A and B are shown apart, each in its own frame.
Chain A
Amino acid sequence: QLQLQESGPGLVKPSETLSFSCTVSGGSISSSTYHWGWIRQPPGKGLEWIGSINYSGRTYYNPSLKSRVTISVDTSKNQFSLNLSSVTAADTAVYYCARKYYYDSSGYYPHYSDQWGQGTLVTVSS
C-alpha cells in the first residue's frame, strides 16, 4: 500500500522559506504514469494546487505562486520536496503531498490524485 509522509516545520517566520519533503513508501516515485504534487488548504478554506513534478524533474506550478515555488525530486530517496520563499501570513495552511495519476498507457490524461499524505499545518508567524 503506497503511503506518503510529509515532513517539515510547523512554524515559519515571515519572509523566510518554507521547506517540506514528502517520502513515498510502498511504491516507486520513478514512474511516467504519475506526477507528485503539493496542495495546500488555508484554515477553513478550500484546496489550492501549488505544483507538481514528474520523476524526471519536469515541473508544473500554479501561476499565482510560481515566482516563489520550487519543487524538486530525489529518486534515490523516493522523495520530493517543496520550497516556498518569502512567506507571509497568507501562506498559513495545511500542506499536503499527493500522488497524481497523470498519464494512462491507453493514451489519455486522467489527472486525479489518488493518494494523499496526512497533511501538516504550517503557521507563518514571528
Chain B
Amino acid sequence: QSVLTQPPSVSAAPGQKVTISCSGSSSNIGNNYVSWYQQLPGTAPKLLIYENNKRPSGIPDRFSGSKSGTSATLGITGLQTGDEADYFCGTWDSSLSGDVFGTGTKVTVL
C-alpha cells in the first residue's frame, strides 16, 4: 500500500554507520520535500529530519538526510543502542494530493 519503498531492516555494530534508502517517484519525492521519523517501540513517531536534510532542535548531528532525484537517504553515524527503532520516510504526493509514508525500516544495533 505504501508508495515509498524502504529496506525492511538494517543493522550494524555500536559506533558504526547505517544508511536507509527511501525510493519514490516524480509525483512524491521527486518534487516534494522528504521528512524522516523515528519510532521507538511502543511510542508515537518523532520527527527526525525535515525538508530533506534539516534537523529539528534536539536531534543530534549523528542523524543526516539527503535527497537525489526520486530517492532519499537517512544516515545514522556513531550508532547507539538507543537508536534501535523503526524509521519511516514521508512526503507529499502531488498525484494523490496526500501524504505518503515509506514501508519502514527496523534498525538493529548488533
Q: Chain A interface (Cβ within 8 Å of chain B)? A: 37, 39, 46-49, 51-52, 60-64, 96, 100-101, 108-114, 116-119
A46 touches B33 (CB 8 A): no
Interface residues on B, range: 20 to 34
A108 nearest CB neighbor, chain B only: B33
Q: Give the distance in Å from the alpha carbon of A114 to the alpha carbon of B49 in the complex.
A: 10
Q: Give the distance in Å from the alpha carbon of A60 to the alpha carbon of B98 in the complex.
A: 7
B88 touches A47 (CB 8 A): yes
Q: Chain B interface (Cβ within 8 Å of chain A)? A: 1-2, 32-33, 35, 37, 43-47, 50-51, 56, 88, 90-92, 96-104
**Shortest CB distance B17–A (Å):** 24
> Cβ of B50: which chain A residues have Cβ within 8 Å of it?
101, 110, 112, 114
Q: Give the distance in Å from the alpha carbon of A113 to the alpha carbon of B37 in the complex.
A: 9
> Cβ of A96: which chain B residues have Cβ within 8 Å of it?
44-45
B101 touches A117 (CB 8 A): no
> Cβ of B33: which chain A residues have Cβ within 8 Å of it?
108-112
B47 touches A49 (CB 8 A): no
**Neighbour of A63 across the interface among B37, B92, B96, CB < 8 A:** B96
A113 touches B47 (CB 8 A): yes
> Cβ of A109: which chain B residues have Cβ within 8 Å of it?
32-33, 92
Per CB-CB distance, the 3 closest pairs between chain A and chain B, nearest first, are: A112-B35, A49-B99, A111-B92
A113 touches B35 (CB 8 A): yes
